Structure 1
Amino acid sequence: MRSQILLLSLATGLLAGCTVGPDYAGPPKTASDAAGAAFVRADAGTTSAPPVADWWKTLGDPQLDALITRALASNTDIRAAEARLRQARAALGEQRANSAPKASASALYAHAHIPGASLGSSDSSGSSSSDLNLYNLGFDASWEIDLFGGQRRTVEAARAQMEGTEASLADVQVSISANVAQNYLNLRDRQQRIALGEQSVAMQTDMLALTRQRFDRGTATAADVAQAESQLDATRARISPLAAERDAYLNALAVLTGQQPGAVDADLSAAGEIPLPPALVPVGDPSVLLAHRPDIRAAERTLAADTAKIGQAEAARFPRLSFMGLIGIGGTKISDLGNLDDFVAVGAPQLSWSFLDFGRTKAKVGQARATRDEAEARYDGTVLSALQDAEDALARFREARVTVASLARVRDKAALTERLAQSRYQAGTATRIAALSARNDLNRAEQDLVSARAALTGDYVAIQKALGFAWR
C-alpha cells in the first residue's frame, strides 16, 4: 500500500511539472526591427537624450503644472482606469486561489417525526411512530491537481492581463495630460487673439469715424465709408466664435480636472502668455518609444495573455485528477459530537478524461491560436502606428518652427512699418488713417504669430504624447 502511494505521489509530481502550450518568448521582432537607430524626421531642434517624464514642466507655466497635477489625480477617466486595474488584480488573486485546495465545514441538526415506523414508541391509540434527532459536524476538502499546467497557464494569462491593464491606465494618463496641455494652449491662444481683435475693433472704429469726417468734407467717397464699415463688421464677426471657443476650452479644462464647467474660470479668465517649448527637445530614439509607450506595452501584454490561453485550452485534452476528502462526526445525541472515536472518513481520488468530445477541444485550441495570431498582428500594427505618430509629430514640429520664425519676421517688418507711419503722421506727411492702418496691419501680424506659437507648442505636446511619457 505504501509503495502504491509513493508511486502515485511520484507520478503526480512528475506530471505536475508538465505544462502544455507554447511558452511566451517575448514580443515579436517583425515590427520593432523596422525601427531605426534614430527618428527619420528628427532635426537639429531635437536631441537623442532621454525625454523628460514630467515634460509639461519644461514649458515653465505654473498654472499648466497645477492643472495637469489635478487632472492626474481627479480625472474621471483615470479613476475608471484605476478601478479596472483593481478588478484585474482581484481577478489574478482569484486565479491564484483556484490553484489551492478548497475546504468547507458544515454543522447539521435534524429532527424527524416518522409516522408508521416503530423505534420502540407508540401513542395512546396504539399506532406506532418514531422521533429521530440527528447531530453532525463535517469537514470536506477538494483539490484538483494541475497535471498538465492548465491552471498555471490561467494564472499566467491573468497576470499578463493585469499588467496590460496597468499599461492601459498609463495610456489614459498620457492622453489626459496631453489633452489638458492642448486645451490650455488653445485657451491662451483664443484669449490673446480676442484681446488683439478688440484692439483692432477700436482702431477700425476710429478709422471709420475719420473716414466719415472726410466724406462729410468731400475728401472721401461713399465707397470708402462702406469699405471701412465692412472691415469693422468683419473684425467683430471674427471675435464672437473666438469667445465661444474660449468658453468651451475653459469648460473642457474643468471637466478634465474632475470639476464642473466654470470651476476654473476664476483662475484662468485673465489672458496669459502662451508657453513655448525648450530650444532643444529631447526625444530619445525609437527603442525608447517602444519601451515606454503604454499602448505598445498593453498590446504586448495582451499577446502574452493570449499565448498563455493556448496552453489553457490544450490542457482540456488530457486527464484531470482531483482528490476529495470528507470527515464527519455525530449521532442521534448531541453528546455524540464529542465522541471522536465515531467518525466517518472518506478519501476519493477521481480521474476524468473527456477523450471523446468530437473535436470540441481541438476547435477551442484552434480559436486560441488564431486569437494569439490576431494579438501579434495588432501588436505589430500598434508599433508601426506609434512610430508614425512620433515621426508625424516631429515633422509638424519642425515645420512649425519655420512658420513661427517666418511670421516673427513678418511681425517685425509690420512693426517697423507702423513706427515709420507714426513718424510721418507726427511730421505731418501722413494722415492719421494711414497711421491707424499701419497699426492695424501690425495687429493682424501679431494675431498670426500668436496662432503660430500656440501651434508650435501644440506640436511639442503631440511629440510628448507620441513618445508616451507622463504616466505614473
Structure 2
Amino acid sequence: MTTHPGRSFYLFFIPCAMAVLCLAGCAVGPSYVAPEKKVPDSWTSPLEEGLACATTDERFLSTWWEAFQDPVLSRLVQWSLEAHPDLQTARSKVRQARAARRMSRAALFPTADGTGSYARSRSRVGVVSELFTAGLDSSWELDLFGGARRSVEAAEADEQAAQEDLRDVQVSMAAEVALAYMEMRTLQNRLAVLERDLETREALHRLTTQRRLAGLATELEVQQSLYDLEGVRAQIPELKADLESAKDSLAVLVGRPPGSLHTLLESLEPIPHAPAQVAVGIPSDLLRRRPDIRRAERELAAQTARVGEAVADLYPKLTLKGSLGLESLTAGDLLDMGNRIFSLGPSVSLPVFRAGELRAAVEIQTELQRQALSTYEATVLNALKEVEEALSAYVQGRKRKRFLENGVLAARHAAELARAGYAAGQNDYSDVLEAGRALLSLQDQLAASEGEEASNLVRLFKALGGGWEYPGTATRDAARGKE
C-alpha cells in the first residue's frame, strides 16, 4: 500500500504540533522573581536648609538644572544630551541589544533555505550523466524544554538593561556639565574678587607712597604695600589659566571643540543659586528612579534566564527536518511535477557523555546569577550612600556659607576701619595688611563656598536619579525604539 506524501506529512506533523503546544508553557530553570526591597523608611541625614521629605515632582527632577534659573546652564545641558559621543555610544548599544533580541526570537520559528545544484559525471564505461536539482530545505528545533524561550527572556532583559545604561549616562552627563559649569562660574567670581582687591591695594600703595613723600610713612611701609600688591597680582594669571581650562573642559562635555564656548561664557555672571525648597522623597523612591539600580535589576533578570537556558542543554533536542524539491536528468524536465522529491522526519539528539561539561555550564551560570544579585544589592547600598553623603554635604555647605557671609561683613568693616585709621595716622600699616589679607581670604572662601553649594545640589540631584527623563531624549529614543 502506497501512502500519499501529503498524508504522511500530516500524520507526522499534527501529533508533533500537539506535543509542542502541550509543552509550550514548560520551561526548565528558575523563573525570575524581583529581589526583595531592603531600604530604610527614611533618611538618616537631617533634612534642613530647605530640604524636605515631600514626594519629588518627577517633571522637576527630569529637568532639575532648570531649577537654577540659568539659561546658559540649561542650554549647555541640552547640547550635551543631544550630541555627546558617550550618549551616541550608549544609544548604539541599545540598538545592538534590540537586534540581539530579535535574533534570539528567530530561534522559536522554523528555518527554510532554497537549494539548487548541478552535477555532471562520467562512469568507467564512458557513460556521461547529468543531474539537476532544485528545492527547499526546512528545519525546526522544537523548544520542548524552554531553552529558546529563556534565551529570549535574557535578550529582552539585556535590551532593557542597555536602555537603563543609556539613561544612566544621561544622568551622569547632565551632572558633569552642571558641575563643570559651577566650577567655571566659581573661578570667574574668585577672579573678580581678586581684581577688586587688586584695585584696593593699588589705591593703598598710592596712598602709602604719597604719605612717604610727605614724611608721614616709612620706606618699609611703602615696600610692604608693594609686595602685598604684587602678591595679589601674581595670583591672577593662575586663576585665568584655570578659567580658560574650565571653559575648554565644558566645551568638550557638550560635544564641541575647545575654545568654542569662550564668547558664550565671556561675561561675568553670578554663581547659580539653589532653590529655596528641594523635595528629596524617601529611600524607596530610588529603586524606581535611579537607572543604575534598574539596570542592575535587569542584568539579574538576564542572568536568571540564562540559568534556564543552560539547564535546557541537559535535555534532548528534537528537530523536525523536511525537504521538497525537483530532480531531473535534463534541465528541460526539471519543472515536471513528476520529478518531485521530498523527505520528512524527526531528528533527536541527547547528550550522553560530555565529561560534566553541561552541568559545569549550569553551575557557572548559577554563580553568575548570584554575582548579579550581589551587584544589585551593592548598587542599592551605594545609591543610598550617595544620597546620604549629598544630603549632608548640602546642609553643611549652606551653613558654612552663612558663616562666611558673616565673616566677610565683619572683615570688610575691619578693613575699612584699618584703612581709615592709617590714613588719619592712628594705626600702623601692619593693621591694614592684616585686615586686607583676612578680607581677601574670606571673600575667596565665600565665592568657593557658593560654588560648592551649587555643586552639592547638583550631586544631590544626580544621586536622586534626576535627568534621565529629559523630554528631548525620551522622545527621540522612543522613536528609535520603533525602528
Normalised to the residue count of structure 1, the TM-score between the two structures is: 0.89
- Answer with 6-15 or 182-191: which moved more: 6-15
1:77 equivalent in alignment to 2:76: no
- The residue type paired with residue 13 of structure 1 is L
1:234 to 207, 231, 234: 231
Which residue of 1 is the match for residue 18 of structure 2? 10
- The residue type paired with residue 33 of structure 1 is K
Number of equivalences: 456
Contact 1:17 1:147 in 2 (8 A): no
Give the deviation of 1:369 after TM superposition: 0.8
Give the deviation of 1:273 after TM superposition: 1.2
SS of alignment partner, residue 338 of structure 1: coil
- The residue type paired with residue 78 of structure 2 is T
Which residue of 1 is the match for residue 31 of structure 2? 23
1:106 to 98, 112, 115: 115
- CA distance in 1 between partners of 2:50 and 2:436 (Å): 33
1:49 to 49, 55, 74: 55
Q: 1:40 to 1:402 in 2, by over 3 A?
A: closer
* Aligned pairs (5 A) from 1:321-470: 321-417=318-414, 442=439, 444-470=441-467
SS of alignment partner, residue 357 of structure 1: coil
* Aligned pairs (5 A) from 1:115-134: 116-119=124-127, 130=128, 132-134=129-131
- CA distance in 2 between partners of 1:82 and 1:117 (Å): 67
Contact 2:121 2:130 in 1 (8 A): no
- The residue type paired with residue 380 of structure 2 is V
Contact 2:39 2:283 in 1 (8 A): no
Contact 2:45 2:392 in 1 (8 A): no
Contact 1:39 1:286 in 2 (8 A): no
Q: 1:420 to 1:220 in 2, by over 3 A?
A: closer
SS of alignment partner, residue 41 of structure 2: coil
Which residue of 2 is the match for residue 243 of structure 1? 240
Give the deviation of 1:423 after TM superposition: 7.5
Contact 2:412 2:439 in 1 (8 A): yes
1:181 equivalent in alignment to 2:190: no
Which residue of 2 is the match for residue 272 of structure 1? 269
Q: 1:4 to 1:345 in 2, by over 3 A?
A: closer
Contact 1:203 1:440 in 2 (8 A): no
Give the deviation of 1:256 after TM superposition: 0.9
- CA distance in 2 between partners of 1:186 and 1:144 (Å): 60
Contact 2:194 2:232 in 1 (8 A): yes
- CA distance in 1 between partners of 2:122 and 2:12 (Å): 47
Give the deviation of 1:168 after TM superposition: 0.7
1:92 to 84, 101, 120: 101
- CA distance in 1 between partners of 2:328 and 2:50 (Å): 88
- Answer with 351-360 or 305-314: which moved more: 351-360
Q: 1:352 to 1:88 in 2, by over 3 A?
A: same
Q: 1:71 to 1:4 in 2, by over 3 A?
A: closer
- CA distance in 1 between partners of 2:317 and 2:441 (Å): 79
Q: 1:446 to 1:78 in 2, by over 3 A?
A: same
1:119-157 deviations in Å (ceiling 9; x for gaps): 4xxxxxxxxxx3x44332211111101110011111101
SS of alignment partner, residue 34 of structure 1: coil
Give the deviation of 1:199 after TM superposition: 2.1
Structure 1's unaligned 5+ residue stretches are: 120-129
- The residue type paired with residue 263 of structure 1 is S
Give the deviation of 1:253 after TM superposition: 1.2
- CA distance in 2 between partners of 1:82 and 1:114 (Å): 59
- CA distance in 1 between partners of 2:417 and 2:223 (Å): 27
- CA distance in 2 between partners of 1:60 and 1:429 (Å): 49
Give the deviation of 1:107 after TM superposition: 2.9
Normalised to the residue count of structure 2, the TM-score between the two structures is: 0.87
Which residue of 1 is the match for residue 477 of structure 2? none
Give the deviation of 1:321 after TM superposition: 0.4
- The residue type paired with residue 453 of structure 1 is E
SS of alignment partner, residue 286 of structure 1: coil
Give the deviation of 1:109 after TM superposition: 3.8
Aligned identity (percent) is 33
- The residue type paired with residue 34 of structure 1 is V
- The residue type paired with residue 106 of structure 2 is A
- The residue type paired with residue 363 of structure 1 is A
- Answer with 258-267 or 354-363: which moved more: 354-363
- CA distance in 2 between partners of 1:216 and 1:74 (Å): 63
Give the deviation of 1:335 after TM superposition: 2.3
